[in-house]
Structure 1
C-alpha cells in the first residue's frame, strides 16, 4: 500500500501556520520548514515550531530550519529592526503596516520550493491570509498565482510543485474554528510581534487573534500581559 505523499509546510509557530499544518496533515506526510529571518520574536517562534512539530510527530529528517537573517541587516520592518517600534493595532488602517518585511514571502517560498524539488514534494503549504492583512502585497491571491508560474518557469521540466494557500480567503475567526475542528494545537502557537514572556495583547497580530477567538466563541489558550 502506497503511503502518503509529502508536503512542505512553512511553519512560523504562529496560529495560521499551525492550522495550515493541521490541514496538510489530513492528506500528506508533513515536512516542516521554519525560517529565521532575524525577527525579534525568533526565540518564541522557534520554540512554538518545535512543539508543533513534536505534536505531529514529524521526524527529524523532515524538519528544516533555514537561516536568512540578513533580512535583519536589510531592515525596513519593525519585525527585524528594533529601532522601529511595533505598532499597536490599527484595525481601520489601509496602509501597509510597519510589520511588512520587504519581499519576505518570496524568499520563504524560494527556500521551500528548493527543498521540495530535492525531496520530491509536490505541494508547499503557506498560511497566507488576505482577509485580515489587506496591506501585505505578498498575501494577495494574485501573488501566489504568479509565484506558481515562476515555479514552473524556474524548475526542471519534470518538476511539479504548487504552492497551496488554504486559508487565503478565510477570516481569522473561520481559521480558529477550522483549527479546533482539526484538533490543531493552537495552545502551542505564538502570534505576538513582541519578544516578551506573555503575548502583549495590543499589537496587530494579538488584536486579530483575540478578536478571532472572541468571534468564534472559543477561549484563547494563550496568556496575555
Structure 2
C-alpha cells in the first residue's frame, strides 16, 4: 500500500546528515510505493516545511533535500502505492500524503474503509477524496494529544493502518499507531536521531553500524519523545485466558496443559491423527488425559503427511532408529517430519481465531531442541511474532510454551509436582501394547524418571 517514515532529530545541528539518510530511506521505500511521495518537517516552533511530488523519489531527488534545517525537530513522510479503491486519475498536491490538519500531520499506510462515515458523523472537512485525508480533521476535532486518547479514537477506524503522526503543538515527539501494518524504529547513535519506517531493511546500515532497530508491537500506540522516552498503549483489550494446547498424548504436552490449568487457563486439547505408527496409542492416551484433566478435546484427522512423506514416523515409512543405549536415537532427528510443528501451529492458530481462544500452546521444550529445529524456543518465538499477520484484524492469538525452557528431567519433576497424569501418557514412537523401551523418546523418558529417583508408571517391553 504505502511506506510511512519519520525521524526525530535529537541534535538538530546534524540535520544535513540526517536529511541525507532520510532521503536514502525514501528511495528504498519505493519498494512499497511509487505513485507519489511527500515529506513534512515540523520545526521547533511548530512551523512547517514540506515537499511533495508525483512519481518515485529516485526520479525527483531535488524534492528530497532542502526540507530540513537547523530548527527541524521531527519529520513525517510517505511513499504511496495508490490502492485501486482510492484511485485518483488527476492527482494534485492536496492528494499527496502526508496530510496536514490544523494541529496534526499524518502519514498512513493501509486502507480506511469508513472514511465517509467518519466525515458525516463528525461534520469533518477534508481537503482530498483520499481516505487518509479524513484523519487530520478527525484528530484535530477529537484528540487531546495523548496516546491513551488516540488508542480510544482508533476504535472508530475500520480498516488497516500504520500511522506516523506529528503534533505541531508539541514538535518534540512522534506517535506511531498500528494494527497489523508494520513499523520499525531505529535509534542512530552516530546521527543522534530516531528513525521510523515500514520495513527494517530501509533502516539498516550494516551489521557494525551503531544503531538499534526495533519492531514496534502490532495493535499499539507508541509515543516517542526527543528525551528518548517511550510510552506504549495497547489497542486491544485484555485477552481471555482460553488456551488451545496441541497435545500428542506425551509427557511434554501433558505437563504443559496441566501447568496452564494450574495457572488459571481454560484449556482445550487439540490432537492430530496423521497416520503415524503410534496413532492409536496416542489417541487413546490423549482421550484419557482429557478426561483426567476434565478438559475438552478436539481432533484433526489428516492425510497431509502421507503426501509429504520422507519420515520413518509414518506407518509404512521404514524402521524407527533404535540402538542399545538409545542415545543416538535421542540426540539426532532420525524421525524428522517436515514442517510438522509449523503445520500443527498454523492449524491451531486458525481454529483459535475462529473459536475465540487467545492462546495456543505446545509441549516444545529445551531438551528436544537439540535434535529438532521446530522444538527450538526461537521457532515458537518467531511464530508468535508472525501470528498477528496470519489472523484477521483485531483477532490476535498469542503462542505459549509452558515447558519451553525445560529439559526432560525437569518436565518429569514438574509434572509430578503439579499432579499431571504422567501414568496416562504415551511417549513411544512405536504403537505396540507397551513402550518399546529402545527408541529415542523411550530412552529419554526412562532416563528422566531415573534421574529424579522416580519409578516410571508406564510399562516397557525392554
- Please indicate, yes or no, whether the TM-score normalized by the shorter chain is above 0.5: yes
Residues 70-100 of structure 1: per-residue CA shift (max 9 Å, x gap): 2023211111152421001552579742211
- Return the index of the structure with the highest Cα Rg: 2
Q: What is the aligned partner in structure 2 of residue 35 from structure 1?
A: 272
Q: Highest relative contact order (Cα 8 Å, sep 6+), 1 or 2?
A: 1
Let me know the Cα RMSD of the aligned residues.
Answer: 1.7
- Residues 131-142 of structure 1: pairs in structure 2 closer than 5 A: 131-142=367-378
- Residues 17-56 of structure 1: pairs in structure 2 closer than 5 A: 17-26=253-262, 27-56=264-293
Q: Which has the higher strand share?
A: 2
Q: What is the aligned partner in structure 1 of residue 409 from structure 2?
A: 173
What is the TM-score of this pair, normalised by structure 2?
Answer: 0.46
- 1:70–1:153 distance in 2 versus 1, CA, 3 Å: same
Contact kept in structure 2, 1:32 and 1:63, CA below 8 Å: yes
C-alpha deviation, 1:165, in angstroms: 0.9
Q: Find the aligned partners of 2:452 and 2:373 in 1 and give their Cα distance.
A: 27
- 1:214–1:95 distance in 2 versus 1, CA, 3 Å: closer
Q: Find the aligned partners of 2:372 and 2:328 in 1 and give their Cα distance.
A: 14
What is the TM-score of this pair, normalised by structure 1?
Answer: 0.91
Q: Find the aligned partners of 2:329 and 2:434 in 1 and give their Cα distance.
A: 26
Q: What is the aligned partner in structure 2 of residue 13 from structure 1?
A: 249
Residues 179-204 of structure 1: per-residue CA shift (max 9 Å, x gap): 01110000000000011111000100
Answering whether residue 452 of structure 2 is matched by residue 216 of structure 1, we say yes
Show structure 2 runs of 5+ residues with no match.
1-239
Residues 141-192 of structure 1: per-residue CA shift (max 9 Å, x gap): 1111211122111112212211111212211111001001110000000000
- Residues 134-153 of structure 1: pairs in structure 2 closer than 5 A: 134-153=370-389
Show structure 1 runs of 5+ residues with no match.
none
- Residues 169-208 of structure 1: pairs in structure 2 closer than 5 A: 169-208=405-444
Residues 98-155 of structure 1: per-residue CA shift (max 9 Å, x gap): 2111000011011111111012111111001232441211011111121112211111
Q: Find the aligned partners of 1:48 and 1:28 in 2 and give their Cα distance.
A: 22
- Local SS of the residue matching 1:222: coil
- 1:81–1:213 distance in 2 versus 1, CA, 3 Å: same
Q: Which has the higher helix share?
A: 1
Q: Find the aligned partners of 2:418 and 2:284 in 1 and give their Cα distance.
A: 22
How many pairs are equivalent? 219
Q: Which aligned segments of 4 or more residues in structure 1 are displaced greater than 3 angstroms? A: 92-96
Contact kept in structure 1, 2:254 and 2:289, CA below 8 Å: yes
- Residues 25-174 of structure 1: pairs in structure 2 closer than 5 A: 25-26=261-262, 27-58=264-295, 62-88=296-322, 90-91=326-327, 96-174=332-410
